[in-house]
Amino acid sequence: MSLNVIWYVLFVIVIAGYLIMDGFDLGVGILHLFVAKTDEERRISLNSIGPVWDGNEVWLVLGGGALFAAFPLVYASLFSGFYIAMMLVLVVLIMRTVAIEFRSKEQNPRWRSLWDTVFFLSSLGIALLLGVAFGNIMAGIPLDENQNISASLLSLLSPFALLVGVTTIFMLALHGAIYLTMKTEGNLQARVRKWIPRLMIIFFVFNTLVVISTVLQHQTITERYLAEIWPIIFPALALVALIVAAYMLRQGRDFVAFLASGAMIALLLFSAAAGLYPNLLISSIDPAYNLTIFNAASESNTLTVMLVIALIGLPFVLLYTAGVYYIFRGKVKLTPQSY
């Protein structure tokens, strides 16, 4: 296996880690106004992610660093061509952080209601923007021979990209709901459990529409699946993971259901990555302008050095993450220091 392929796999794994870890944070935010009705319940909702949400975003930093180190041409094209979209992501990330930190600074109900709304809207906005961005990558972007992307913000909001964006919202909302079943109890947990079947059905419908639209409209990915049969294992296993999550929830095994939900997210990302391979960015102007894991990669010595650094550093990230989750395991209990 070449270094280019290894780094492609590592990059996909890191992005999957971000979607799983920060995904349930976003899902909790998306559900915040709907499942948590009282001030105490909303505090519990916030504190379910309170000790971990900022650490989860480390995976996004890792993803950006991996892309910059391994595939700098893709990094440069994305961050220049999607500049306004990236700034919007940055704004909603900041507003989400502000909402989490500011909400409990005042007892005033209007103050808290304001930041609850900001928390919901920013979480929804991040999920939508991430989905729209990925939808554009799957569909192809106006990438020219100089690796420049000529696209306005409105042109990125194609029906397919918006469909992927909405699907991402419901996927992360489902993931967040399953996480909340592990961290809550009583009326709040019962309310969350009632939401989960609806979210599963809605997500399944939208995800099916994404698959159908991809098959009918985006031949690059379809041809990849037709050329080699092995990539079909990823979407098939993703469906199995969704069924396992539903079954485990019925059995009251919420943690196993959460693991299955995370596996489903990772497998769906692997499905798309397998369909895109070896492309990283598909040009809608001319396939000859596509950026692949070969023509957009760093030199082999750079990939080698960065791989050594990644193999040394990644275990520390995993150890830190595991430690935090172990320390803050169990149901949420509010204290005077809680959000």
Q: For residue 203, which of 159, 243, 258, 251 has the smallest C-alpha distance?
A: 243
Which of 317, 268, 321 lies closest to 65, judged by CA? 317
Q: How far apart are CA 169 and CA 203, in angstroms?
A: 9
Most confidently predicted of 116-120, 146-150, 334-338: 116-120
* Per-residue pLDDT at 1: 67
Task: Residue 337: name the closest of 46, 35, 38 by CA.
Answer: 46
Joined together, the tokens standing for residue 244 give 């396992």
Q: Does residue 336 lie in a domain region?
A: no
User: Which domain, by its residues, includes 257?
Assistant: 3-327
Q: Report the half-sphere exposure of 169 (CA within 13 A, side-chain side).
A: 19
Residue 241 within a domain? yes
Mean pLDDT, to the nearest integer, of 311-325? 88
CA–CA separation, 187 and 165 (whole Å): 31
Q: Where are the alpha helices (DSSP H) in 36-81?
A: 39-49, 53-56, 58-70, 72-81
| Residue 122 confidence (pLDDT) | 96
Which residues have C-beta within 8 Å of that of residue 247, sequence separation ≥ 6?
none
Cα 69 → chain centroid? 21
Percent of the chain with pLDDT over 90: 70
Does residue 7 have a pLDDT over 80? yes
pLDDT at 79: 85
| Residue 155 pLDDT | 83
Q: How many CB atoms lie within 10 A of CB 231?
A: 20
**What is the per-residue pLDDT for 51?**
87
The mean-pLDDT minimum among 155-164, 257-266, 326-335 falls in: 326-335
Cut 0.85: pTM above it: yes
Helix/strand/coil for 296: coil
More confident residue, 293 or 221: 293
Cα torsion angle, 179, 202, 139, 239, sign: positive
Q: What residues pair up with 279 in beta bridges, in sequence order?
A: 292
Q: Determine the straight-line distance between the first and last CA of the chain, rounded to whole angstroms.
A: 48
Q: Average pLDDT, stretch 242-265?
A: 96
User: Mean pLDDT, the chain, as a whole number?
Assistant: 92
In this structure, is residue 46 part of a structural domain?
Answer: yes
Residue 323 inside a domain? The answer is yes
Which of the four pLDDT bands, split at 50, 70 and 90, describes residue 270? Answer: very high
Give the phi and the psi of residue 252 in degrees, each rounded to 5.
80, 15
Cα–Cα distance measured from residue 328 to residue 339, given in angstroms and rounded to the nearest whole number: 15
Domain membership flag for residue 267: yes
Rg (CA), the chain: 20
For residue 80, tell me if it sits in a domain. Answer: yes
Rounded mean pLDDT of 76-89? 87
Band the pLDDT of 92: cuts 50, 70, 90: very high
The answer to whether position 337 is within a domain reads no
Number of domains in the chain: 1
Q: Which residue has the higher pLDDT, 267 or 320?
A: 267
Average pLDDT value for residue range 54-64? 88
Judge whether 335 lies within some domain: no
User: Can you tell me the mean pLDDT for 19-44?
Assistant: 94
